[in-house]
């Protein structure tokens, strides 16, 4: 009886051992796969590390967006300083024109005021060239000259700002292209590895989303700076228009005085 019991016990232990073998094999296989996956995953998931481990297309997209961001800030700061200096020149010149009695009197005071000095010289030159003509004709020709100068000043103010609008409109889509490309590569890697483990999928998707993040970093400042520059440009254009009007008023006064008592004032000022 004891021998039979021992045999039964031995058979039970053997059966349990055999049934546990597949489970142990699966656990060892899973442990081996997990070890391989951990070894394959990047240890550093910072933005710099993700950039270097990204696909070449995604790298090109990120580099292009980074350059666009540099261009955005360079153009924005340069145009902002330019418009600020222009306003500082135009406001005192406009105040001087409003208080002056003649163009010859104000010409010396606004010699370094940029567009205002150009407008005054153009008005005096036209008056000198047409000193024997009708005052209405002189005014008409002077208006034509001043309008061309005003238009040129407006074009100069807006030069370079179009690139900000382009970057603000296209940068998110360029970043999205990099993201789509990176996610495509991630799914291809999932198919080749034949696993859906999130630890395998996450780094590739993170690298792909980095392109969209850089695209937004380039686009948002571009849009904000473009709107700020557009508002400042509108203010500068209004100052130039007011300066043109002030110059034409002074020219009209000078012509009226010349018609009443002919004097060589305009000719001497133009020379």
Considering the domain architecture, whether residues 121 and 87 belong to the same structural domain is answered as yes
How far apart, in whole angstroms, are the C-alpha atoms of residue 107 and residue 125? 12
Number of neighbours of residue 144 by Cβ within 10 angstroms = 11
pLDDT digits (tens, 9 = 90+) for 188-197: 777 776 666 6
Question: From the DSSP assignment, how many helices (H) and strands (E) are in the chain?
Answer: 9, 0
Cβ burial of 182 (10 Å; 0-12, 13-18, 19+) is buried
Q: Are 190 and 270 in contact, with CB atoms under 8 Å apart?
A: no
Under 8 Å between Cβ of 62 and 214: yes
Query: Could you report the per-residue pLDDT of 97-116, keeping only the tens digit for each?
Result: 888 787 877 777 776 667 88
In this model, does residue 72 exceed pLDDT 90?
A: yes
- What is the per-residue pLDDT for 168? 92
Residue 129 inside a domain? The answer is yes
Predicted local distance difference test score (pLDDT) of residue 210: 82
Q: Which domain holds residue 36?
A: 1-40
Residue 45 lies in a domain: no
125 and 242 assigned to the same domain: yes
148 and 31 housed in the same domain: no
pLDDT of residue 38: 47
**How is residue 92 written in tokens?**
């005192």
* CB half-sphere exposure, 215, CA atoms < 13 A: 21
Same domain, 30 and 109: no
31 with 84, same domain?
no
Is residue 54 pLDDT above 90, yes or no? no
pLDDT of 247 > 60? The answer is yes
**% of the chain residues with pLDDT over 90:** 19
> Within a domain: residue 36?
yes
Mean pLDDT of 144-171: 89
For residue 175, give the nearest of 92, 57, 264, 73 by alpha carbon. Answer: 57
Per DSSP, the three-state class of 196 is coil
Look at residue 132 and tell me if it is in a domain: yes
Residue at 187 is within a domain:
yes
Neighbouring residues of 90: CB distance < 8 A, sequence distance ≥ 6: 113, 114, 115, 116, 236, 239, 240, 243
């Amino acid at each position: 009886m004891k021998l039979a019991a021992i045999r039964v016990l031995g058979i039970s232990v053997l059966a349990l051992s055999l049934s546990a073998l597949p489970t142990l094999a699966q656990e060892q296989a899973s442990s081996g796969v997990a070890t391989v996956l951990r070894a394959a995953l990047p240890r550093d998931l910072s933005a710099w590390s993700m950039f270097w481990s990204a696909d070449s297309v995604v790298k090109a997209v990120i580099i292009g967006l980074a350059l666009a961001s540099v261009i955005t800030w360079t153009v924005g700061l340069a145009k902002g300083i330019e418009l600020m200096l222009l306003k500082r020149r135009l406001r005192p010149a406009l105040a001087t024109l409003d208080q002056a009695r003649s163009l010859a009197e104000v010409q010396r005071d606004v010699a370094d005021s940029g567009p205002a000095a150009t407008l005054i010289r153009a008005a005096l030159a036209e008056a000198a060239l047409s000193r024997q003509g009708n005052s209405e004709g002189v005014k008409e020709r002077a208006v034509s000259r001043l309008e061309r100068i005003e238009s040129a000043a407006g074009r100069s103010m807006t030069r370079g700002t179009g690139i900000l609008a382009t970057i603000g409109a296209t940068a998110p889509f360029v970043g999205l292209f990099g993201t789509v490309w990176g996610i495509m590569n991630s799914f291809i890697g999932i198919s080749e590895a034949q696993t859906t483990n999130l630890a395998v999928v996450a780094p590739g998707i993170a690298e792909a989303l980095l392109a969209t993040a850089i695209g937004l970093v380039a686009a948002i400042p571009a849009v904000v700076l473009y709107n700020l520059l557009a508002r400042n440009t509108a203010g500068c254009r209004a100052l130039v228009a007011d300066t043109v009007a002030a110059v034409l008023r002074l020219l009209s006064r000078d012509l009226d005085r010349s018609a009443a008592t002919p004097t060589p004032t305009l000719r001497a000022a133009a020379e």
